[in-house]
Structure 1
Amino acid sequence: MIKHVNFLIGSACNMKCGYCLQTNEKSPADHKADPVEFAHKFARYLGGQKLERVAYWGGEPMLYWDRIRALHGTLKAEGIIPEQSTITTNGRSLTDDYVDYANANPDIFTVVSWHDGKFTDEQISRIFRLKQFSISQLIHHYHTDMWDTRDLYYSLYEKFGRFPNTAVHFLRANDGCSKDYYLTKEDVDKFCKHLREVIEFARVGDTWALWQCSQLLYHRNKVKSRVGPMCVRDELLSIDLHGNIYACHHNYDASNITGNIFRKVIPIKATPQYSPRRFYDSPECQNCECLEECRGGCYTSNTHEIDCYFAKERHYIYKAMERILK
């Protein structure tokens, strides 16, 4: 049974981040499609089933906002939109129309990727007009601690009178990502040392440190609740508006298409570059005490040994975080 759906709207973006996971700027997802027509067909495909979660992905979703709004509105009219819909954006192209629509539709949660570059005061003010949002930062070779996240957390509170929901995510070293950003073992050691320092801040009641520990544990526990590899599960469907099914929502390349929900045969190479279970099913992963927390890691990763080392180091650090939060 399908519970979660990633809608891949298109690969265009107004930023060119070196760590972007997209391997190809041209994708079948970019071919013109009618979002309303697709939504009706998709509702018939589900046969009345309501979803638990949907997520809208770019490229940069705000470049496709009219398309997403039409899709979301039609899915809502069909009665299949869940309690939470997530839109992940770099935040630079948020409009007043988007903010008003998101605030009027409580199911929409906006994740702002605070990864590269700076925001204008106008952009930040628009982000803080959102009722529900989080700020996400990325850990990679050039960013191995979260002290800037802490500075951001307190400075935004001083300016807007409320603490932002801040979180960090970890780089996936696939073919789309520049090797310059790949985490090394030394980078992992630096970040884990930093996490232990964060724990000490949490012990003395630092608000940000306590929040950050809770967020890391929250995301860890979300992964633990899953069955199968990290981003590829029977209950999860990643599709574009033509019905093409992608093995993973982080790669829109045609070679990552495995089928189509509307057609039995598709004129596209239908074999992913790697098996999504290539790490997860290995004896090493199946016998590892960390499997529930990492799900075998990213199946497209070029640094699996580093990822594995990182997962094991975090496993013991998370236990220390749990003791503090209790």
Structure 2
Amino acid sequence: MFTLIMRRSDGSAFRLVLDTSTSRLTDEAGRLIDISPLGVVYDNEGKTLRDAPVTTRDRAEPKSRSVKVLRIQLGLACNFSCAYCVQDRARPGHDEKSSDVAAFLNGLDEWISGAPVVVELWGGEPLLYWHKLKTLVEGLRCRWPEVKLRLTTNGSLLDMEKVDWLAGLRNISVTVSHDGPGQHLRGKDPLDDPETLAAIRSLFARLGTFAKFHAVMSLPHHSPIALLHYFFDRLGTTDIQVSSSGLKYPPTKDSRLHLVPGNPKEYTTMRHNLAREFRTPYVFANAIVAAPLRHLLYQFAKSVPARARGQGCNMDNPEHLAVTLSGDVIVCHNTSPATHRIGSVHDFAAIRLTHSISWHNRPECNSCPALLSCGGACMMMEGRERSFSCDNNFSHGLVYLATLLYALTGADLLRIEGRRIRHLGVTSFDF
């Protein structure tokens, strides 16, 4: 339970109460805050939600054959070298043979029960595996005509042939991973190449809302206004949706690059900058703010209890499965079978979600006011990596909370008070 100290524009203060265990936001008298101005009403369906898995090193959860979201990792080969990449440093060379695709498609009925709702296609860079990808997607579409397909690419290999093919597929969404003004931290900018730019413009024009950019922020490049205008200017339209996963850790392969805040003052400055820019109407309406706020509002509207709240990545969900074409099951698409294999589809009953600890078993998560936005950070990380990841997600999550509170009350979040705020001995935190 947390007390939120709020300040109106006239300088007067008031308090709200946030209960992350029940997803309730109330005034001091216990009355629910009106969320209808954002087009949402309370339905209190949280009590009907099933319990989320509670994974520990000693209690690894199984996976279900009734897969709702299937993430297929084509391989880790990539033509970029992002400063913050969480995937393996040693990447295998990409393989253009399609024989493993045929075996994968032919074996699906042996381990999956019915059609998934969503199939996601991942790399590395998935377009490096063009022949595999094309064969795989066409086989999946033939088998499951109504499945939703999702592809994430850095966009550098897009051309008109690939765009024609993608646009001809039904029910597909494409995310172009691009950091806008911070793209130089990843390598070349595909938007600087006239042919690639033309292909990306065509992709967005033809897919409409089923195409978007996704950006990783850094300390030098965390302005959402600058990010949006980077894409608006280059694509020649403001009808562009952008999402962001905030800051990333491991922060850099080059210790000289200062990509994440290094002290509390830098985190505070970044929070204030983000909160100010998030209120800009066209930023607020874009996916970069609108999508996280919908997620927050969903939890408040349904009063989602802690027992039903899983990890933010959803990979603790038994019905979410990440696999390679050889049938290895991995913790998530960002990991390698060499280090994070949790089983095989050919021995499905033995699959267990190892390498992971859910937020339910982390004291700092249970005492975090940003939990509803963060979802517990990465369940695999420990030590220094976890500490950095937690700090990044905490700050970013608080900005979403503060933005939602401003939209609902017109007041600024000043301070958070509680029995414990993440760490022992911390009972207040200034936004």
Tell me the TM-score range normalised by the shorter chain. 0.7 to 0.9
Task: Name the counterpart of 2:106.
Answer: 40
Task: Name the counterpart of 1:197.
Answer: 276
Q: In the alignment, which of 196, 201, 204 is matched to residue 128 of structure 1?
A: 201
Q: Deviations over 1:19-68 (max 9, x none)?
A: 11112434699796521220221233213x11111111111111012111
State the shift of 1:126 in Å.
0.6
1:210 is aligned to 2:285: yes
Contact 2:96 2:132 in 1 (8 A): no
Q: In the alignment, which of 54, 57, 68 is matched to residue 133 of structure 2?
A: 68
Q: Distance in 1 between matches of 2:254 and 2:194?
A: 30
Gaps of 5+ in 2: 1-65, 411-431
Paired residue secondary structure (2:164): helix
Gaps of 5+ in 1: none
Task: Name the counterpart of 1:148.
Answer: 226
How many residues get paired? 312
The 10-residue stretch of structure 1 (58-67 or 181-190) with the greater mean CA deviation from structure 2:
181-190
Q: Distance in 1 between matches of 2:297 and 2:73?
A: 25
Q: Deviations over 1:197-226 (max 9, x none)?
A: 224422xxxx34432432442465689998
Q: In the alignment, which of 117, 121, 142 is matched to residue 52 of structure 1?
A: 117
1:1-326 matches, within 5 Å, as 1-26=66-91, 34-47=100-113, 49-79=114-144, 82=147, 84-115=148-179, 116=183, 117-118=188-189, 119=191, 120-130=193-203, 131-132=206-207, 133-156=211-234, 159=236, 161=237, 163-174=239-250, 180=257, 181-184=259-262, 185-202=264-281, 207-211=282-286, 212-218=288-294, 227-231=309-313, 232-233=315-316, 234-252=318-336, 254-263=338-347, 274-277=355-358, 279-299=359-379, 300=381, 301-302=385-386, 303-307=388-392, 309-320=394-405, 322-323=407-408
- Taking structure 1 as the reference length, the TM-score comes to 0.82
State the shift of 1:103 in Å.
0.8
Paired residue secondary structure (1:111): strand
Contact 1:99 1:129 in 2 (8 A): yes
Contact 2:331 2:353 in 1 (8 A): no
Contact 1:22 1:251 in 2 (8 A): yes
Paired residue secondary structure (1:5): strand
State the shift of 1:88 in Å.
0.8
Q: Distance in 1 between matches of 2:79 and 2:299?
A: 30
Contact 2:377 2:393 in 1 (8 A): yes
Q: CA RMSD in A?
A: 3.3
- Taking structure 2 as the reference length, the TM-score comes to 0.64
Paired residue secondary structure (2:245): strand
Q: Distance in 2 between matches of 1:28 and 1:59?
A: 11
Paired residue secondary structure (1:262): helix
Paired AA for residue 87 in structure 1:
L
Q: Percent identity?
A: 20
CA gap 1:154/1:113 in 2 versus in 1, 3 angstroms: same
Paired AA for residue 216 in structure 2:
L
Q: Distance in 2 between matches of 1:321 and 1:35?
A: 50
Paired residue secondary structure (2:72): strand
Larger Rg: 2
Paired residue secondary structure (2:321): strand
Paired AA for residue 371 in structure 2:
L
Q: Distance in 2 between matches of 1:321 and 1:9?
A: 43
